[in-house]
Amino acid sequence: MKPYWLTTLAAAALLAACADPASDPNGDDGLESAAEEAMDTAAEEGEALLDGAADTASEAAQAAAGAVDEAAASAVLAAVLADARRDSDRARDIWRNPAETLAFFDVRPEHTVAEGLPGAGWYTRILLPYTEGAGGYIAINYPMDVLEAIFGDRMDEERRAAAAGLEASFPPRAAQWGGTVDAMTRFGAVSDDLAGTADRVLYIRALHNLARTGNMDMAVNDAWTLLRPGGIVGVVQHRAPADETDERADGNRGYLRQADVIAAFEARGFVFEEASEINANPNDPADADGGVWTRMPSSDSEEARAIGETDRMTLRFRKPD
């Protein structure tokens, strides 16, 4: 049965065709033909309206489902951020803005997240319990040759042994933070079985040592390998002034120029989607010879407390579908 409005539309078209019979040189036959054409036109227009209404309803349903998912993810993250395991970390939240940062990177509990350089685990203590159960967690650490380049003469046997034993020592430690390490890898050594398994790759204050040792492209390539099509790379990195010299923005002071980071990811094929000022700090001139290590939390000097943590870029890139 046709909807009543479709029948009405057809009737109106038929009346219009009948309004002036003299104008039709074919007489009754022409009138009948005009009526049929009017009915066909009305049917086509009605079907188009129905299709449009169905598409609108589907889009509305998807938007509503997305809103529910976002609210649920926010609730899970809020519980993780309030967990007692983070008591010693929480003072940094004002500078590192984890809820806003992870929302900007669209990190959800069901995602598999690869974290570059978990280290002492500030973000790891958020990501592990956040993705536990529905999602997954992959740790990416330095390979030994990069550590040798970073530490130089300071790379003693104790550091070397600790670095070599990470695959054994890190998962039990991480388990105390409320989650499971599903896989571990090293920069430049991502295995085939990990390729395309991550929904998000996060490089949070992780790129400067790679840049200053000539391994920035390795980190970018590994992100490409790990990510599924459509996956996101989230970067938070100490930011040098845009007009800083190459020598002072090469990572040795911890600061990188935002344009250089964007160019490195775009050169690999990533799409730069957006930059955020979530983690910006205009009080940091980023000009200290001692670099980021003169800022909180590395330094507790009066100057460091007055400035706070570093000025940081927050960038989102997408691997094309």
Let me know how long the chain is: 321
Instruction: Give pLDDT tens digits for 263-308.
Output: 999 999 999 999 999 999 999 999 999 999 999 999 999 999 999 9
Please tell me the pTM assigned to this model.
0.80
β-strands 312-318, 271-276 pairing = antiparallel
Phi, psi angles (nearest 5°) of residue 234: -110, 125
Is residue 304 within 8 A of residue 296, CB to CB? The reply is yes
User: Mean of the per-residue pLDDT values for the chain?
Assistant: 87
Q: Name the more confident of 145 and 62.
A: 145
pLDDT of residue 265: 98
pLDDT of residue 40: 61
End-to-end CA distance of the chain: 42
Rounded Cα–Cα distance for residues 145 and 154 (Å): 13
pLDDT at 17 over 90: no
Q: Which two tokens stand for residue 62?
A: 């998807």
pLDDT at 79 over 50: yes
Domains of the chain: 4-65 (no CATH), 88-318 (3.40.50.150)
